Chain A
Amino acid sequence: MEAMLQPVADLFGPIWPAVWTLVKIVAIIAPLMICVAYLTLAERKVIGFMQVRIGPNRVGPFGLLQPIADGMKLLFKEIIVPSGASKGLFILGPILAIAPSLAAWAVIPFDDGLVLANVNAGLLFLLAITSMEVYGVIVAGWASNSKYPFLGSMRAAAQMVSYEVSMGFALICVLLISASLNLSDIVTSQGSGMFHDMGLSVLSWNWIPLFPMFVVYVISGIAETNRAPFDVVEGEAEVVAGHMVEYSGMAFALFFLAEYANMILVSILTSILFLGGWLSPVGFLPDGFHWLALKTAFILFLFLWARATFPRFRYDHIMRLGWKVFIPVTLVWVVVVAVWMMSPLSIWK
């Protein structure tokens, strides 16, 4: 690969590393955007089937061109800036929403060695970047200078900060047992152990010893991405569409893209941290990216399933679940895992 690209590298000279990185970024972002587009279709189809409907089926065969039609429609719509809005921040809001959800993909390993930036502090980087996602919502809500967006952004600020804490503690458990902040190392550390040697590596992944953390992480992930049943931020019965009320056209679409990109991010992270990433569940099948894709698709299906199943949580119940249930549980489990690791019963030697 390197030798093949040498003539191209010579052509660009000293700026070649920057160009090559840009190419890699496009190679990650472009498929991601296609995934986002088809995730919206999958959501409508899956929820349609769960409610014994057909779902979109008019545009293209089985409605397969529906996301493209939606995208075109949003592209050609006018972006209206309300006269009372703080103009600069109004435009900045959607940008701040989508930038972190794309930046986080820099440290995601897709296969052994297939990662844009193999940094040592990958998990920390992810925590920092995902904690910035809330700014898009807050800035958009405030800059709209309107009541519903403002209420939505207040809710978002409180909710996302609360669930970040329990998510962080769940991640601490993972990094305790894998003794690394590097996501590739976290995956490879799951590919060993008693069950792995018996050919059943599905049982040696993190999700069994850390099962409570796995559950907490998935639920916090749903809350963190403001998805149903935790979508009070944009709950249409109370605050119409929350921070997105005043947005139209592509500005609205950016929030939409950010939300779905975040869903995929949380799903792929769950697969990497708890479900063994690209590792094959059984010994006789080879490892590979397809396993990661399958696991991610399964978690994404859980997201959609939860949306079709549960009614929206009331706001105080969301806060109670975050602060009074998840944080104590995760705190206790951090201590349990730490003691377990130091005890003679430790399975991570």
Chain B
Amino acid sequence: MEFKTFVFYFLAVILVFAALRVITARNPVQAALYLVLAFFNAAGIWLLLHAEFLAITLVMVYVGAVMVLFLFVVMMLDINMERVRQGFWSYLPVGALIGVLLVIEMAMVLGGQYFSLEAMPMPPEPQAAYSNTRELGRVLYTDYVYPFELASLVLLIAMVAAVSLTLRKRKGTKYIDPALQVAVKREGRVELVKMQAEKE
């Protein structure tokens, strides 16, 4: 067995195990941590495919930021597993439908030779000085610049919407303005008074 194959199966086994634990773990925090492990192993498999930019971005964005905030929220919640399990049977048909769709898609990817995959040219072997990041950037900002900008706009709208949905201004609350506090000078707070000594 080639070393690369060994690495692939090593990562894949951990990935599948972690993904299974995400949905079977009773504790939501542990489930979230298993999801982190799954992301990490998926990034490893992408690295094997020479997609170092995507792999590292996966770790950076999902492991480094998204899952941290996820954990942040999940840790603060008091989740009652009984109530979560109540909806199991009513959600099962929808879940099963998505599962079947995923199986069909995977079958199409794996059985590519039945869908004229040969018509696609083989990607050229990467050169020594090949930089995945540079190539990706070049394509994103030249050939696909409009879809890319559109996607970023959609994300921006989602961000603004999320902020505006949760933003409430309550009246009568006393807010602290750190900017004002930072701008405070000694003269505004302390007054030195010169006094004659009191004599009895």
Q: Which residue of A lies closest to B179 (CB)?
A: A320
Give min CB distance, A174 to chain B, whole Å: 14
A142 contacts chain B at the CB level, 8 A cutoff: yes
A87 contacts chain B at the CB level, 8 A cutoff: no
A124 B56 Cβ-Cβ under 8 A: yes
B68 A134 Cβ-Cβ under 8 A: yes
Chain B residues with CB under 8 Å of A266's CB are none
Q: Given A121-B53, A121-B132, A158-B72 in contact, is the A316-B176 Cβ separation under 8 Å? A: yes
* One of B58-66, B102-110, B115-123, B189-197 at the interface: B58-66
Give min CB distance, B41 to chain A, whole Å: 14
A139 contacts chain B at the CB level, 8 A cutoff: yes
Chain B residues with CB under 8 Å of A317's CB are 178, 181-182
> Within residues 125 to 160 of chain A, which ones have a CB less than 8 A from any CB in chain B?
125, 127-129, 131-132, 134-135, 138-139, 142, 150, 153-154, 157-158, 160
A89 contacts chain B at the CB level, 8 A cutoff: yes
Cα distance A154–B74 when bound, in Å? Answer: 11
B36 contacts chain A at the CB level, 8 A cutoff: yes
Q: Which residue of B lies closest to A180 (CB)?
A: B131
Chain B residues with CB under 8 Å of A21's CB are none
Main secondary structure of the interface of B (DSSP, over half): helix
Cα distance A121–B136 when bound, in Å? Answer: 13
A181 B133 Cβ-Cβ under 8 A: yes
Chain A residues with CB under 8 Å of B133's CB are 120-121, 124, 181
- Interface mask (B32-61 → A, CB under 8 Å = 1, otherwise 0): 010010000000000000001100110110
A161 contacts chain B at the CB level, 8 A cutoff: yes
> Within residues 291 to 349 of chain A, which ones have a CB less than 8 A from any CB in chain B?
316-317, 320
Q: Given A121-B133, A124-B133, A128-B60 in contact, is the A150-B182 Cβ separation under 8 Å? A: no
A164 contacts chain B at the CB level, 8 A cutoff: yes
B29 contacts chain A at the CB level, 8 A cutoff: yes
B65 A139 Cβ-Cβ under 8 A: no
B69 A132 Cβ-Cβ under 8 A: no
Cα distance A153–B68 when bound, in Å? Answer: 11
B11 contacts chain A at the CB level, 8 A cutoff: no
B178 A132 Cβ-Cβ under 8 A: no
A89 B33 Cβ-Cβ under 8 A: yes
Q: Given A142-B75, A158-B72, A316-B178 in contact, is the A131-B65 Cβ separation under 8 Å? A: yes
A46 contacts chain B at the CB level, 8 A cutoff: no
B178 A138 Cβ-Cβ under 8 A: no
Among the listed B30, B33, B52, B60, which residue makes an inter-chain contact with A127, where contact means beta carbons less than 8 Å apart? B60
Number of interface residues of A (CB under 8 A): 29
A132 B33 Cβ-Cβ under 8 A: no
Q: How big is chain B's contact interface, by range?
A: 20 to 34
Chain A residues with CB under 8 Å of B72's CB are 138, 154, 157-158
Cα distance A138–B59 when bound, in Å? Answer: 17
A119 contacts chain B at the CB level, 8 A cutoff: yes
Q: Which residue of B lies closest to A181 (CB)?
A: B133
Q: Which residue of B lies closest to A318 (CB)?
A: B178
B68 A161 Cβ-Cβ under 8 A: yes
Chain A residues with CB under 8 Å of B53's CB are 121, 124
Q: Which residue of A lies closest to B29 (CB)?
A: A142
Give min CB distance, B81 to chain A, whole Å: 16
A128 B68 Cβ-Cβ under 8 A: no
Among the listed B30, B56, B182, which residue makes an inter-chain contact with A121, where contact means beta carbons less than 8 Å apart? B56
Among the listed A119, A124, A157, which residue makes an inter-chain contact with B57, where contact means beta carbons less than 8 Å apart? A124
Cα distance A124–B132 when bound, in Å? Answer: 12
Chain A residues with CB under 8 Å of B68's CB are 134-135, 138, 157, 160-161
Cα distance A132–B40 when bound, in Å? Answer: 11
Cα distance A139–B67 when bound, in Å? Answer: 12
Cα distance A134–B60 when bound, in Å? Answer: 12
B56 A138 Cβ-Cβ under 8 A: no
3 shortest interchain CB distances as A-B pairs: A131-B64, A128-B59, A128-B60
Q: Could you give 20 example pairs across A and B, Cβ below 8 Å?
A: A119-B52, A120-B52, A120-B131, A121-B133, A124-B52, A124-B56, A124-B57, A127-B64, A128-B56, A128-B59, A131-B60, A132-B63, A134-B64, A138-B71, A142-B29, A160-B68, A161-B69, A164-B64, A181-B131, A317-B178
Q: Tell me the B residues contacting A by CB distance below 8 Å.
A: 27, 29-30, 33, 36, 52-53, 56-57, 59-60, 63-65, 68-69, 71-72, 75-76, 131-133, 176, 178-179, 181-182
Contacts A124-B57, A128-B60, A138-B68 aside, 6 further interface pairs with beta carbons under 8 A come to A89-B33, A121-B56, A132-B59, A135-B68, A161-B65, A161-B68
